[in-house]
Amino acid sequence: MGTADRKAKEKEQLKSLILDSARKLFVEKGVEQTTIRSIAKSIDYSVGTVYVYFRDKNAILNELHTQGFAQLGGLFKVLAHVENPMERLIAMGRLYIKFAMENPDMYELMFTLKAPMEVLDQAKNEEWNEGISAFTVLKTTVEQCIAANHFKGHEPEPLTFMIWSLVHGMCSLHISDRTNGVHLNHANHIVDAGYEEFLKILKKL
C-alpha cells in the first residue's frame, strides 16, 4: 500500500500549500481581498481544486483561525516556568496584547469574525474547542491565584471571563480603529496604558 500512503501525503501537502498561501494572502491583504481565485492563482491551481480540499471559504478561515490559536498557545508555553501565578497572569496579558497588536488580522479571525465560527454545526452541538482550551489555560492560572490568596470573594469562571474581556476589549477596539479619538499625553500606547491601570488594580486585590 505504498501508493495509497504517498497519495494521502500528497493530499496533505497540497492542503497545507493552500493553507499557507491563504494565510500569506490573508495577512497581506485581509479577509475580503483573499479570494479563492487569488489563492488558486498563487499556487498555480484552479479554483475547483481549492474546493476539493475545502468545503468553502469559511472552512479555510476556520483552519487559519485554528492555526492562530496554535501560534498563541506556542507563545504561552514560554510562561509555563513562571512559578508565581500572579506574575504569570500578568505576563500572559502582556503576551496576549503583543500577539494581538502584531497579528491584527489573525486576531480578528480568532476572536471577532463570524465566518470561522460558522463551520460549527449547532445542530450537532459542536463546540469551539480552540477557545475553550485557551480559556481553560487562563482559568487555571486565575484559580492558582485564588489558591495563593488573591481575588478574595471572587468566582473563578466569571472572573476569568472578565479579565479576558478586559484585555480582549482593548485589543479589539484598537484593531477595529475605535481608539483613534483617545488621545494621550503619554508616549505610551493607549492599550499599554490601559493595561497599566489594570495592573494597578491587581495590586490592590
Partner DNA sequence: TGCATTATTGAACAATGTTCATTTATATTT
Partner DNA sequence: AAATATAAATGAACATTGTTCAATAATGCA
Question: Does 6 sit near DNA (CB under 7 A)?
Answer: yes
Tell me how far apart the alpha carbons of residues 63 and 82 are, in angstroms, rounded to a whole number.
31
Of 40-48, 127-135, 141-149, 196-204, which segment contacts DNA by CB under 7 A?
40-48
Cα angle: 30, vertex 25, 130; to 5 degrees: 70
Question: Does 48 sit near DNA (CB under 7 A)?
Answer: yes
- What is the closest distance, in whole angstroms, from the C-beta atom of residue 107 to DNA in the complex? 20
- What is the closest distance, in whole angstroms, from the C-beta atom of residue 12 to a copy of itself in the complex? 28
Sole binder of DNA in the list 21, 34, 141, 179 (CB under 7 A): 34
Q: At which residue does the C-alpha cell 494597578 appear?
A: 200
- What is the closest distance, in whole angstroms, from the C-beta atom of residue 29 to a copy of itself in the complex? 14
- What is the closest distance, in whole angstroms, from the C-beta atom of residue 71 to a copy of itself in the complex? 17
Question: Does 124 sit near a copy of itself (CB under 8 A)?
Answer: no
Question: Does 47 sit near DNA (CB under 7 A)?
Answer: yes
> What size, in residues, is the chain?
205
Instruction: Give DSSP secondary structure letters for 77-99.
Output: HGGGG---HHHHHHHHHHHHHHH
Question: Does 102 sit near a copy of itself (CB under 8 A)?
Answer: no
Q: How many residues bind DNA (CB under 7 A)?
A: 23
- Contact indicator for 19, 60 with CB cutoff of 8 Å: yes
Would you state the cell numbers that stand for residue 203, as one nine-digit string?
495590586
Question: Does 14 sit near a copy of itself (CB under 8 A)?
Answer: no
Closest CA to 164 of 190, 193, 142: 142
Q: Which residues contact 6 (CB under 8 A, 6 or more apart)?
A: none
- Contact indicator for 190, 175 with CB cutoff of 8 Å: no
Cα angle: 123, vertex 57, 44; to 5 degrees: 150
Q: Give the one entry of DNA, a copy of itself, none that residue 45 binds, where binding means its C-beta sits below a cut-off of 5 to 8 angstroms depending on kind.
A: DNA
- What is the closest distance, in whole angstroms, from the C-beta atom of residue 39 to DNA in the complex? 8
Q: Catalog residues that contact a copy of itself under the rule CB under 8 A.
A: 111-114, 117, 127-129, 131-132, 135, 153-155, 157-159, 161-162, 164-170, 172-173, 176-182, 184, 188, 190, 193-198, 200-201, 204-205
